[in-house]
Amino acid sequence: MGGPWGPGCYDLPVAVALYPGTFDPFTNGHVDILRRGAALFERVIVAVGARVEKQTLLPVEERVALAKASAAGLRNVDAMPFTGLVVDFAKKQGATVLLRGIRNPMDYEYETQMAVTNRRLAPAIETVFLVASADSSFISSTLIKEILAAGGSVDAFVPEPVAKALRGRKR
């Protein structure tokens, strides 16, 4: 006796979500969005951007490995590198959702522009925004790199596998 709001009232598609980014490095904020996304979607793929023109602290292979290690325990999450357009990679992976985190109004402006562009390029792929949790809304990969460059510890801002990989490194 489902009625309009009971069990089975919605025929929701089983969705694969793509969580794209550079993830240089993977932060506790990324983990927050990833955990919450993993609870919403059947499968989440962390798509680690491998653009050669973008200078990164860590090589793409290490960023993929650290994303996987940071997602340990989330059985429906995987990570892999990609190049090219996010929507093209999403199609190849069978993803119908792009998962994005929003920390502040600047993120919202940028992410909205990207979402509209991606929608124009691939109308069948939706973008879903998750607002960052209060305890991680200030964390960014840029902030992590600045702390590292100044010789500080980033242990409180990144998952343990990332902290271990970054110990002793400077940008």
Q: Which residues pair with 114 in a beta bridge?
A: none
Catalytic residue among 30, 63, 68, 100: 30
- Cα gap 48→80, rounded to integer Å: 6
Catalytic residue among 63, 70, 141, 145: 141
Active site residue 54: yes
Cis peptide before 7 (omega within 30 of 0): no
Buried b (16+ CB within 10 A) or exposed e, 63-100: bbbbbbbbbeebeebbbbbbeeebbebbeebebbbbbb
Active site residue 103: yes
Catalytic residue among 100, 103, 136, 145: 103
Active site residue 30: yes
Residues 6+ apart with CB under 8 A from 115: 98, 100, 127, 129
By annotation, the residues acting in catalysis are 30, 54, 103, 141
